[in-house]
Amino acid sequence: KAGVTQTPRYLIKTRGQQVTLSCSPISGHRSVSWYQQTPGQGLQFLFEYFSETQRNKGNFPGRFSGRQFSNSRSEMNVSTLELGDSALYLCASSSTSRGLADTQYFGPGTRLTVL
């Protein structure tokens, strides 16, 4: 069974631009969560989607948004990029409706650099 895939793997943007990251969960998994990883702040929870609905949200500004499609694939969007948004963005999927409380499988991440 294929693991969680994320595209693109690397991305370079400039301040003020917006970016969309994509995540394909493990086949059959319906919960998708997003995380931001930086050297300074570590791993932080962004949001979780289940059945196309945002179920939980971390403490990030409204510039960070996401959505989930009927096939469970998810996208994350960051608008008006700031230098501090440079990070590794990780997606994780889980198989049950318990989402965060269930075993999560992480993708390799998308490395975003904002210049």
Residues that bind another protein (CB under 8 A): 4, 33, 42-45, 56, 58-59, 90, 92, 98-101, 103-109
CA distance 63 to 46: 11
Please calculate the CA angle 110-112-115 and round it to the nearest 5 degrees.
170
Decide whether 60 or 106 has the Cβ nearer to another protein. 106
Closer CB to another protein, residue 80 or residue 97? 97
Minimum Å gap between C-beta 107 and another protein is 5
8 A C-beta contact, residue 99 and residue 50: yes
Task: Decide whether 45 or 60 has the Cβ nearer to another protein.
Answer: 45
Closer by beta carbon to another protein, 44 or else 79: 44
- State the minimum distance, in angstroms, from the CB of residue 111 to another protein: 9
| Close Cβ partners of 44 (under 8 Å, ≥ 6 residues apart) | 35, 36, 37, 38, 58, 59, 60
Minimum Å gap between C-beta 48 and another protein is 8
Does residue 60 contact residue 76 with C-beta atoms inside 8 Å?
no
